[in-house]
A and B are shown apart, each in its own frame.
Chain A
Amino acid sequence: AQSVTQPDIHITVSEGASLELRCNYSYGATPYLFWYVQSPGQGLQLLLKYFSGDTLVQGIKGFEAEFKRSQSSFNLRKPSVHWSDAAEYFCAVVKSYSGGGADGLTFGKGTHLIIQP
């Protein structure tokens, strides 16, 4: 079964500094990967996704992620963080595939991003 590991539970970054959040997946074939962000008490907002093609994926809010098959990683990056980026970030992989489509996501446990002024 697919699984996702986010090694960092908390990360603290100064405002304006660069950010990298780590995500490792376990899956035999080419995975379909997602990054979501969740603000306190809110649902999940899709930042970006990868399913084929260019391994560097651009998303919303200035985020990007790079798929590295050799490292089974899909790390999220941002060159300069803003205080409004403070939130919980989740990496996810499609759980399985059936009927020509996918039937849900397996999430990592999340990384809590704290922005220092």
Chain B
Amino acid sequence: DTGVSQDPRHKITKRGQNVTFRCDPISEHNRLYWYRQTLGQGPEFLTYFQNEAQLEKSRLLSDRFSAERPKGSFSTLEIQRTEQGDSAMYLCASSTRTGLIYGYTFGSGTRLTVV
């Protein structure tokens, strides 16, 4: 088990372009979370999946953002028509149902820079 993997590690894009990030959670983890972290801030919750079902979306997740987890395994986060304010680190985390006991495992993140 190699932990939570995120791809790409870095992404530079021009304003207005679409970008997609991928997260591969730990294989036996059925819960998957996306967070956004801007400079000097703590991570902020974006959305949460239990298996393939997206159970909660933060108000931070505007209609330009969409996340999927089609087969309950990997997840993608797409940002359409990127804006400079979207520049941030996007973190993925996964957990089992007992995440309270074993904690949440985070990936290394995808750093997005919108120019």
Contacts and interface: CB of A to CB of B under 8 A. Distances in A.
Given A101-B98, A104-B33, A43 B103 contact: no
Dominant SS among interface residues on chain A? strand
Interface stretch (A14-22, A68-76, A106-114): A106-114
B48 A51 contact: no
B16 interface: no
Identify which of A43, A95, A108, A110 gathers the most chain B CB atoms within 10 Å of its CB.
A43
B99 A95 contact: no
Interface string B1-33: 000101000000000000000000000000101
Interface residues on A, range: 20 to 34
Interface stretch (B59-67, B68-76, B79-87, B105-113): B105-113
Nearest to B34: A104
A105 B45 contact: yes
